Amino acid sequence: MSSGRYFFNLGYRFISSFGLAVATFVLLLIITYLGTVAQIEIGLLKAQQVYFESWFFIEDFAYFKNNMESLEWLQGKAYPKLLLPGGKLLLVVLFFNLLIGGIIRLRRKWHKPGLIISHFSIVVLLVGSFVEYRKADRGNLKLDPKQTADYFTSYYDWDIEITKAGAGPGDEALVIPYEQINYLEGDLSRTFRSDKLPFDVQVSNYVINSQPNRATASPGAGPAAKGYYLEVGEEQKEAEMNVGGCKVSLLKPGTSEPLDEGILWGLANAPMTAEVGGQQFLVTMVRRIWPLPFAVRLDQFEFDLHPMTRMAREYTSTISQIEDGAEKTVIITMNEPMRDEGYVLYQSGYGPDNAQPGDPNAYTVLAVADNPADYIPMISCIMVGIGLLIHFAQMMVQSIGGRARNESPAAAAAAATKSAAGSSPPMPGAAAPSATLPTDAPDPAP
Amino acid sequence: MKMIRQLIACTCAAAALAISLPAGATDFTKLATYEPWPEATVEAFRSIPVQEGGRIKPMDAWAQFKLLSMNAKRSLWIEAKRPGDDEPTKFKIGYNEWALDCFFRPDIAKQQKIFDVKDYDALTRLGIELLKDENGQTLKKKRDRYSYHELFTTDREIENVRLNELETQAERIRTEKSDQADWTSIEHVIIGLHEGVTIFDHMVRSFAFARGIKVGPGAPEWLAPAEGGTVRFQEFFGKTQQIAAWVDEYQQAKMAESMEKGILPKDIPSEEMIPEPIRASFDRLQFSPMLLLFPPTDPKLDEWESFAALARNVDRNTEGGSDRLMKYAGLIEDIARAPVAESAAPVEALRDAIVAKAEERTHQTPPHNELRTVNLEVAYYKADLFYRSINIFVILILAWAVAVLTRRDSKVSKIATRIAFWGTLVPVAMMITGMTMRSIILARPPVATLYETLIFITTASVIVLLVIEAFDRQRIALGGAVFLGCIGLLLSGAFEVTKSEDTMGTLQAVLMTNFWLATHVPSVLLGYAAGIVAALISAIYVAFKLFGRFSGQPTRFTRDLTKFAYGVICFGLLFSLVGTVLGGLWANDSWGRFWGWDPKENGALMIVLCFLAILHARLGGYIKEWGLHLSSLLTANVVLFSWFHVNLLGVGLHSYGFTSGLKVALFISYGVFLAIFLVGAVLAFLDRIDRRRAKELRNAEKGADPGPGGKRLANA
């Protein structure tokens, strides 16, 4: 055998091995536990990024540190730091392990169709999850009574949008996406250039959770410009509560000569305006917006509380879906979303906080998802259920069949002979162990 | 082998006997006399509909959780002379009788020891002096029950000082420490006492007016009390305008008199602005808004009204408000004024009036079918199927112990086995009936709260073990079934006491979907049940291996246990995997994503991963008998984490499942499974050494090098 083939076989056997599967399950179990308890300290979104969307991460046991500090003997003790594989790596390994070990290698065992089906369904689920992770967009849409909208906004992503003054709907806007500015903390800056703009845009001092204040004698710790500064707030565990902000400088193209500068803040009432080359531009920081292929109008929003409580019993939005001039009425309520053209609109919340049932000013909040893999989990669920049922039913039939054979007179006689030969006394009615189950029992005497 | 079984059976029988022995009642309320409420009164009272927590329930449910929250028990013991008794006797009264006392005989209710104070240091901190004997030793235990009078005395001034102190301290704790996890044990006691006293105060005030409004001497003739210094509420309320005019006149005169003395009106003490004869009447006119007893007249409304709301609505000139107020006030007064022995008829009259009004609402637009399950709920609590199942399980444990302790082929053993096996179907049927009743009452699958999951998992586990027993007939699974059934129900009862809240509470909108509640939740719970049953089998395996070291290894039997554990894990994987994916589908329909790494979702995933790791490790030959059992014991801790612990973390979307007060019990459970795991790990290590020695011995006996072929054989 050539060494190439030898190593290929070795790799093939390793990637498809039970050992790798078990190790992956155990490591996934550990990081799932760590990622769960870490949410108390760092919130869901960050835990998700650190533990489940990473290739590797360093565990510092912050949760345990904070919970054990009341124990005197642990106070001041250094906790170890561990490098662990992240969820992304483990799921990729699991995917190949399942594909090669659970389907390709197992294909010869057609007498075990249940196993192949269930493995295949998990592969499908992992593929679906990957598609969702890479391609799905999620956000929400707040609709006041009678308001119409054909877009939805992100929960977390704050983009910078640049438009010409006086631009209307449908006019072009230049966008600097969140992913390209969210790491520009402190003095770190990045300059963006477009042929369509008579200036370059330099972004710096990005603050994850910020609050603008008028600069006084002591301007605070954040970036400052034009008499305002951004106060650096504590990063919220609930990431959607963070309001981004940064400093922007408009530069003469290809140079570092400033033309204008300002502070951008996610919830600012008005955009930053700048006049360059005799034309006025608006620069704003907004939650990312995705277009919907149709418009929706809130016709009616109803919500109800359990009597004499503040617990919601039901909330329902009656909306008109408007597309190409045609309207149709759709009802969206809890657990019953609207699905159309690959988009799903869910009943998510309502406001304002003090709204009472019957309030004509109550608005609805719809969660919106554009997820190409929306149906894959359901297909996978049905398949995995069928697969496991077939497999375990097969096992049960085999086990009962084996038991019947073992309890036949001939088997009983054989057992009695064996018992008389000095092994432990037989238990009345006890079944012989299945030949397929390895045991820790001492090897029989030769 | 026999010795092991006998040892385990004796232990179980002793535990069963310990459970069945009635706990000694030490908290007797000693009264000179006590006239019990007639049975007919209690029957009528318990079925009065009342609104609480967003639903209509019988007074039976309302009263029991009120008493439970203060007393940690549903009944209390009294030592008193009843009518016809020559000597004081000890007897028990239930929560309905207690509630009747609070409403209509508050002087007696204030003497009943119902406040369960878990640490008397909390009372010291509140400035409440404990009763001491002549040697200066306190007469109370560290945890004891107190009556209202013991805590706050009968002296009005001391009562006010102590109540204010309790109020101040409770307020301070809540303000300074918004997170309950930061409260000390004493602070928990203070908050618990404050909540209990508040509820008690509301109950006592609810119908205080019915005992008559106190009017002192010096009142105008038209308000003069007819009997006992009190005026009937209806009469008093009917003269509201006259009273208002009289009070106004009095206040004008008072102010003029003060001005003459150079005192500004704002400096006059507020109580002096009320005429002396009716100053005391305010005690009985402080209506409580807690008891929502009266159906609204407006068909658009769902909110029932308290007596306080009825009185308030009269002030607002609501149409017909005065008639309703007077009608209900009259009915309640009739109860208060009737002799206890004749109280059934007025209580029935009040119930019938409320029921009639509620039934009238079923014909209105929109219709309100609010009494649909009130009577069924009364029947549910009267039947008390889960508690009674515990008693049956205790008997079955004893039957099982007899079966195991006697010779297997003896008649006694066979009969006892049959009793234990077939008898277990009785509590199983009772538990299923109980869950079905809950399901009808709540109009949803009975799996939406932690309490319900305890019942469901216990029932499922017992059924799984009975099925194993039907195949196996070793009586071990049967022992597990009866023991687990008993423990599971005891735990659910303890959980109910700890929470002291209505276990049939209303659900958030996201949970109000019967399809997902009936598919996802039972599937996941069956996965939990499988994890617990597998761990129980593994614990039995460890016990047999432990005792087997002294009395010979029952190899075949322990191999059977391994097969069962393996089968249960397969069963668990099927349900937990399908249940977890179904949960994702539900989340996809309600929150807009299939998987969000929410703690509860992660918990379910961890159980699936445990099962997968065990089964694949087993198939790959990485673990054998010991490996399977040890990992099954660790899986039990993962199940506990997923079932309970994630609810204590305080994060995530499954916020309807948060609970507190379980931490200690949870950590004890972790410890128990971990201890069994450690014992198992030591035994596994010793087994390994034994096997190696046995192999060496065999090789030595052969007296020859087995050679390469022999070595392969030996390692096979």
SS3 content of chain A, % helix, strand, coil (to 5): 35, 35, 35
Tell me which H or E stretch contains A363.
strand A363-370
How far apart CA B344 and CA B339 sit, in angstroms, is 10
Digit-coded pLDDT (tens) for B269-285: 877 888 888 877 777 78
Which tops the pLDDT comparison, B423 or A185?
Answer: B423
Digit-coded pLDDT (tens) for B276-324: 888 777 777 888 899 999 999 888 888 999 998 888 877 555 555 678 8
- Residue linked to tokens 């939005």: A317
How far apart CA B226 and CA B240 sit, in angstroms, is 18
Cα distances from B69 to residues A197, B169, B193, B414, B600, in angstroms, run 69, 20, 10, 46, 28
Is the pLDDT confidence value at B656 over 50? no
b (16+ CB within 10 A) / e for B331-341:
bbbbbbebebe
User: Does the distance separating the beta carbons of B691 and A442 come in below 8 Å?
Assistant: yes
CA-based nearest residue in chain B for residue A333? B590
Digit-coded pLDDT (tens) for A306-358: 888 888 888 899 999 999 889 999 999 988 899 998 899 999 888 888 888 88
Nearest residue, CB atoms, B513 vs list A39, A335, A432: A335
Mean per-residue pLDDT, B529-551: 87
Mean per-residue pLDDT, B334-349: 95
pLDDT at position B7: 66
Which tops the pLDDT comparison, A425 or B106?
Answer: B106
Pairing mode, strands B29-33 and B49-52: unpaired
Mean per-residue pLDDT, B402-430: 93
Q: Considering the entire predicted model, what is its pTM?
A: 0.82
Residue A245's pLDDT band (cuts 50, 70, 90):
very high
How far apart CA B131 and CA B392 sit, in angstroms, is 42
According to DSSP, residue B662 is labeled -
User: Does the distance separating the beta carbons of A18 and B304 come in below 8 Å?
Assistant: no
User: Does the distance separating the beta carbons of B605 and A32 come in below 8 Å?
Assistant: yes
Q: By CB neighbour count within 10 A (0-12 exposed, 13-18 middle, 19+ buried), where does A145 fall?
A: middle
3-state secondary structure B213-264: EECCCCCCHHHCCCECCEECHHHHHHCHHHHHHHHHHHHHHHHHHHHHCCCC
Nearest residue, CB atoms, B613 vs list A25, A129, A378: A25
User: Does the distance separating the beta carbons of A308 and B563 come in below 8 Å?
Assistant: no
Nearest residue, CB atoms, B622 vs list A19, A307, A396: A19
Detail the DSSP E strand segments found in A375-426. Answer: none
The answer to whether A292 and A300 are in contact (CB under 8 A) is no
- Residue linked to tokens 């899986």: B635
Residue B658's pLDDT band (cuts 50, 70, 90):
very low
- Residue linked to tokens 């919130």: A43
Digit-coded pLDDT (tens) for B429-469: 999 999 999 999 998 898 888 899 999 999 999 999 999 89
Question: Which residues in chain B are closer than 8 Å to A440, comparing Cβ atoms?
Answer: 624-626, 684, 687-688, 691
Pick the range with the lowest mean pLDDT from A167-176, B181-190, B196-205.
A167-176
Pick the range with the lowest mean pLDDT from A270-279, B64-73, B173-182.
B173-182
Q: Which of B581, B645, B692, B715 to substitute to test the interface with A, most A CBs within 10 Å?
A: B581
Nearest residue, CB atoms, B588 vs list A377, A388, A392: A377
User: Does the distance separating the beta carbons of A392 and B571 come in below 8 Å?
Assistant: yes
Query: What torsion do the CA atoms of A368, A373, A374, A379 make, to the nearest 10 degrees?
Result: -170
Question: Which residues in chain B are closer than 8 Å to A368, comparing Cβ atoms?
Answer: 592
Is the pLDDT confidence value at B522 over 70? yes
pLDDT mean across residues, chain A: 84
User: Does the distance separating the beta carbons of A445 and B616 come in below 8 Å?
Assistant: no
How far apart CA A213 and CA A230 sit, in angstroms, is 6
Is the pLDDT confidence value at B268 over 60? yes
Mean per-residue pLDDT, A183-206: 91
The answer to whether B275 and B251 are in contact (CB under 8 A) is no
Structure tokens at B574: 């099927």
Coil, strand or helix: which one is A203? strand
Digit-coded pLDDT (tens) for A68-84: 766 666 666 777 889 99
Which tops the pLDDT comparison, A433 or B114?
Answer: B114
Distance of CA B467 to the CA centre of its chain: 30
User: Does the distance separating the beta carbons of B589 and A337 come in below 8 Å?
Assistant: yes
pLDDT at position A417: 47
pLDDT at position A5: 87
Q: By CB neighbour count within 10 A (0-12 exposed, 13-18 middle, 19+ buried), where does B383 fall?
A: middle
User: Does the distance separating the beta carbons of B588 and A374 come in below 8 Å?
Assistant: yes
User: Does the distance separating the beta carbons of A429 and B606 come in below 8 Å?
Assistant: no
How far apart CA A153 and CA A142 sit, in angstroms, is 9
Distance of residue A256 Cα from the nearest chain B Cα, in angstroms: 44
Which tops the pLDDT comparison, A278 or B635?
Answer: B635
Q: Which of B508, B521, B561, B588 to substitute to test the interface with A, most A CBs within 10 Å?
A: B588
User: Does the distance separating the beta carbons of A439 and B619 come in below 8 Å?
Assistant: no
Encoded amino acid at B582, one letter: L
Question: Which residues in chain B are closer than 8 Å to A315, comparing Cβ atoms?
Answer: 509
Distance of residue A440 Cα from the nearest chain B Cα, in angstroms: 5
Q: Which of B556, B569, B635, B702 to substitute to test the interface with A, most A CBs within 10 Å?
A: B556
| Residue pairs between chains A and B whose CB atoms are closer than 8 Å | 230
Q: For chain B, how big is the Rg over CA atoms in Å?
A: 32
b (16+ CB within 10 A) / e for A400-410:
eebbeebeeee
Distance of residue B116 Cα from the nearest chain A Cα, in angstroms: 28
Q: Which of A16, A18, A33, A36 to substitute to test the interface with B, most B CBs within 10 Å?
A: A36
Is the pLDDT confidence value at A155 over 50? yes
Q: Within a 10 A sphere around the Cβ of B77, how many other Cβ atoms?
A: 18
How far apart CA B223 and CA A428 sit, in angstroms, is 90
Digit-coded pLDDT (tens) for B524-537: 999 999 999 999 99
